[in-house]
A = this chain, B = another copy of it.
Amino acid sequence: MTDLNETHDPTLSSWVDSANGAETDFPIQNLPFAAFRMAGSDEYFRGGVAIGDFIVDLAAVASQGIFNGLAQDAVNACAHEDLNEFMAMGKPAWSALRLSLSKALRTGSGDQFTLSSCLVAQADAEFKVPCLIHDYTDFYSSIHHATAVGKQFRPDNPLLPNYQWVPIGYHGRASSIGVSGQQFSRPLGQLKAPDADVPVLGPSRRLDYEVEVGIYIGLGNELGEPVSMVEAEDYVFGLCLFNDWSARDIQAWEYQPLGPFLAKSFASTVSPWIVTTEALAPFRVPFTRPENHPQPLPYLTSDANSAEGSFDVSLSCLLRTAGSDIENPLSRSSFKYSYWTVAQMVAHHTINGCNLQAGDLFGSGTQSGPEPQEAGSLLELTQGGKHPITLANGETRTFVEDGDTVIMRGYCEKPGAKRIGFGEVTSTVLPVRWSPRSGSVH
C-alpha cells in the first residue's frame, strides 16, 4: 500500500486558481495522467497532468529540463504519444514525478513562470486512450452484480460455487476500447428469442452499459513469474472510469460454453484521466468478507490487503437523451464494495505465470452496491427489462436507445483529506448501420 506523504497534504494549494475550488476534480492532491493534444489539430498526442481546469503539457515540461534525476527521466518518458514507457518505469519514477509536479504547482513555487507556459485549457484539448493497451482483462468483482444477474437466470442458486474462491475474469477485446466521447453504432448480432426456433441477425435490442473501474498495469512481470499479494500493488499504475458496453441479447445466445465475445467487443470506453494509486492513498478502506463466507486461499491474502485493500471511489451513472441537456441519474455506488481487491486481481491473474505488461487494462466488472438502486447496469435496474425506468422528460428506458449518452463520474472524499475526482467518461449510441430490406451490411 502507499503511505501518505507531503503530496497528499489537504492544506496544499496551487497557483492555478481553478485547482483550489471545493468542487474541482483536479486539485493539486490529485495530478492524474492522460494523453492529449489541441482539439482538432494534427499535433502529436503527449502526456498531460490535470490541474484545475488546465492540463500540464508534459512534453513542454520535459523540454524545459527543470526537474532532476528520476523526475526528469519520468517526465521525458511522458513526452511520448503513449504513456507505456512512463508506466513501465515503476513506482519510484511515478512518485518522483508526482512530487516534482506537486512542488512546481504549489502556491509560491519558483517554477510558476516556467510551468505556466506549459498549461493548456482542458476545454481546448482532445484526448486518446492514454496508452497502448496490450491486453484487456475484465473481472467480475462485485458479488452484488453477480448475485443480481445470477438471480435472473437461476433464482434458487444465483451465485455459482466458484465465486467466493476465484476472482472470476475473462479476456476482453483491446482494439475496440475508445476514450470518453466515443460514439459507436448499435451492434448487429445473432439474436434468438427464448420462444424462437432459430436465431436471426439484427441490431441488439438489449444494449446496456456497465459501470466499472478500469485498472492500469504499470510494471510488468516475466512469463512464469507470479506476483505475490505483497508486491501486487507495485505493479498497478492507477485507476480510471470504464464503461464496458454489453449487448445482453447477443450475449445470451453466444456465451455458452466459452464466455462473452461479440456481446462486448463492439465498444468499451475509458475516461481520459488515470488517477494514480498514490493519489488514492488517503481513500483506502478494508474489505470485510461476510462471516459465513470462506477466507480466500493464501495466495490471495496479505495483511495489507485485509487492512486497507479496497479503494473507496464513489461512482455515479447518468443518462442524457438525444438533443437534451438533462442528465438523468441512474445509480450511485462505490468501488469499496468490490468482493475482490485490485491486489487480488493481480495476484490471481499471474498465479499461473501469465505475464502482465505496462499498459494492460483490467476492468473491475460492473460495480453494483448492496442496494437495488446501486446497480451498475440497466439489466439489474430494470430487472432484465421487466421494470422500465422513467426519465425526467417522461420517456422510459429498459435498455439504452439510439442517441442516448451514458455518463459515468467518480470521486473520492472523506474528512481530513482533499476531495479528488476522476472526471467523467461519456459514450453515445448511434443507430445501427444496416439495411434491413436487403439483410446486408453496408
Out of B174, B261, B353, which one reaches A188, CB within 8 Å? B353
**Least distance between A85 CB and chain B CB atoms (Å):** 16
In the complex, which residues 132-165 of chain A have their Cβ closer than 8 Å to any Cβ of chain B?
134-135, 137-138, 140, 160, 162, 165
Binary interface profile of A, 344-380, with partner B (CB < 8 Å = 1, else 0)? 0000110111111100100000000000000000000
Q: List, in ascending order, chain B residues with CB within 8 A of A171's CB.
A: 170-173, 261, 265
A394 CB within 8 Å of chain B: no
A388 within 8 A of B: no
> Contact size class for A?
35 or more
A223: interface (CB < 8 Å): yes
Q: Are A297 and B224 in contact (CB-based, < 8 A)?
A: no
Question: A356's closest neighbor in chain B, by CB?
Answer: B175
A228 lies within 8 A of B440 (CB): yes
Q: Name the contact of A185 in the complex, choosing from B165, B224, B433 (C-beta under 8 A).
A: B224
**Residue from B165, B198, B260, B433 in contact with A258 in the complex, judged by beta carbons closer than 8 Å:** B260
A259 in the interface (beta carbon within 8 A):
yes
Q: Kindly state whether residue A201 has any CB partner on chain B within 8 Å.
A: yes
Known pairs A165-B199, A228-B441 / 14 extra A-B pairs, C-beta < 8 Å: A134-B174, A160-B257, A162-B256, A166-B199, A166-B253, A171-B173, A175-B357, A176-B353, A176-B355, A178-B223, A226-B441, A250-B352, A265-B352, A299-B439
Residues of A within 8 A of B (CB): 134-135, 137-138, 140, 160, 162, 165-166, 168-176, 178, 184-185, 187-190, 192, 198-201, 223-226, 228, 247, 250, 253-263, 265-267, 294, 297-299, 348-349, 351-357, 360, 433, 439-441
User: What would be 6 A-B contacts, judged by CB atoms less than 8 Å apart?
Assistant: A134-B175, A168-B257, A187-B352, A223-B267, A262-B348, A265-B349
